[in-house]
Amino acid sequence: MPETNSSPPDLSGLRDRVALVTGGASGIGRATALALAAAGVEVVVADLDAAQAQEVARQVGGHAFEADVSDLDANRAAVAFAQERCGGLDLAFLNAGVTSGCGVGEDFDLALYRRAMGVNLDGVVFGTHAALPALRARGGGAIVATASLAGLVGVPLEPIYTANKHAVVGLTRSLGPTLAAEGIRFNAVCPGFAETPLIADFRDGLRDAGFELLSPEVVAETAVHLFAGEMSGECWFVQVGREPAPFGFRGIPGPRTTEVPK
């Protein structure tokens, strides 16, 4: 289980809450929607794939909403839908993500770059901006963003994806302490390679290289734990064979003062 002391998290506080899950039609989003529903949460499944979002919503007894998270108005509309259909919003899992499909050299493609930044970074910024008024209206709540191990270390084969996931980590560490004062917690989950549609194009290569893939359900457990806990501003890694935990960032060296000679 995700807790560092191996004790199961108390999910009772999640019952009857309302959650918005972006990228909820497949992979980690779908697994988290199912896990939240099992904890008694009413779930709005938001995804660009409307048909699959409807299917997942049926499975969780929730609601589906078609949304492109790279569009600010679509994020606002998803939150408004949750408020109108469910009476409010308590939790937001900002999970939608794509790979870039290009680099920054000769293989650079502006459209692919904009798409990756729009979904992976704008989707978190826009989703947070849209969700905050709704969470404040409920007296507080929690946001969990899906980052990646690529948000904690450099990944030379995917520099653009790495850059936007680093940005999500930085956003989490910046907003977490500030929002906590309002009763709103902001954390990130940082999984390694997981068995999701995101890795479809290079799944065989990962397996040939000896990588063991995470199950989406393991990542979902950590996301739900972050919703149920009291932490804020933390980035939890999820790796095969390791117990999920907050990543320990080293402090930045402070300035040295030079003594003025007398």
- pLDDT at residue 8, as a whole number: 66
C-alpha 161: how far from chain center:
14
Q: Which residue(s) pair with 187 in the sheet? A: 144
Q: Alpha-carbon distance 232 to 175, whole Å?
A: 9
Instruction: Report DSSP state, residue 197.
Output: G
Helix spans in the chain (H): 27-38, 50-60, 72-86, 110-117, 123-137, 159-180, 203-208, 216-228
Residue ranges of the chain with pLDDT lower than 50? 1-6
Per residue in 153-165, pLDDT tens?
Answer: 998 889 999 999 9
Which of 126, 161, 193, 236 is the catalytic position? Answer: 161
Q: Give 25-74 as a DSSP string.
A: TSHHHHHHHHHHHHTT-EEEEEES-HHHHHHHHHHHT-EEEE--TTSHHH
- pLDDT at residue 252, as a whole number: 84
**161 in active site:** yes
**Tokens standing for residue 201:** 């194009």
- pTM higher than 0.85: yes
For the chain, domains (ranges, CATH) are 13-246 (3.40.50.720)
- pLDDT at residue 1, as a whole number: 40
C-alpha separations of 33 from 94, 135, 187, 235 in Å: 12, 19, 17, 20
